[in-house]
Amino acid sequence: GQQVMQIPQYQHVQEGEDFTTYCNSSTTLSNIQWYKQRPGGHPVFLIQLVKSGEVKKQKRLTFQFGEAKKNSSLHITATQTTDVGTYFCAGLPSGGYQKVTFGTGTKLQVIP
Amino acid sequence: DTGVSQNPRHKITKRGQNVTFRCDPISEHNRLYWYRQTLGQGPEFLTYFQNEAQLEKSRLLSDRFSAERPKGSFSTLEIQRTEQGDSAMYLCASSITWEQYFGPGTRLTVT
């Protein structure tokens, strides 16, 4: 079955440093979504990428979808303490399937 | 509050008992998902409804799990003969397209 892996599993950064998490799928994706889950909370949708090579920005967050539509990345510039949480990618496989597979997540800790 | 709601928020049950959880999606959302999440892991897909039709079900699910969405509105997830391994957070999400809105979850503890 489809597997979605993320690296790193954990990341500690000083406030103001940049952060990147990488997402890799074992199968080609129709689209990929990113979610953020705060400690004790539920996943909250951040963005969806659909096109090969697509890049989208949300303020300090930059999301990229790979050319082969099997990988993606999330980059945060100048992290803030409000960025703390676990970031998940979630991939929808191509081929008309409806099952979204969440990645293993990257837990970000920001040290003030 | 027009978000996704789930009840109960917490459930403690003894091994072997049956439990049922309810999810009320955002009213205009025709898609509904159930996930299971354990500590340190991402949400694990359980099943997906489009309106009242259950279109996908994880092969990981045993026959002890069943979900319904009568009339395409709220949904229930039932676990029969619970086992300690069923202890987890059960999340429901709804959507119109692929952007999923999650509820607060039901935390199940099987003793």
Residue A2, min C-alpha distance to chain B (Å): 12
pLDDT tens digit sequence for B65-74 = 999 999 889 9
Please report the pLDDT score of residue B1 as a whole number: 52
CA closest to A34 among chain B residues: B99
- Residue B48: per-residue pLDDT: 92
Q: Does A43 touch chain B (CB under 8 A)?
A: yes
User: Residue B23 and residue B50: Cα distance in Å, rounded?
Assistant: 14
Q: List for chain B the helix, strand, coil content (%; round to 5).
A: 5, 50, 45
- Rounded-to-integer distance, Cα B71 and Cα B56, Å: 18
CA distance A6 to chain B (A): 10
CB B7 within 8 A of CB B21: yes
* Residue A108 near residue A85, CB atoms below 8 Å: yes
Per-residue pLDDT at B111 exceeds 80? yes
Q: What is the pLDDT of residues B29-64, one digit of tens each?
A: 999 999 999 998 999 999 999 999 998 888 877 789
pLDDT in tens, B60-106: 777 899 999 998 899 999 999 999 999 999 999 999 988 899 999 99
Contacts of residue B40 in chain A, CB cutoff 8 Å? 105
Tokens 């099997």 belong to which residue? A70
Predicted pLDDT of residue B72: 84
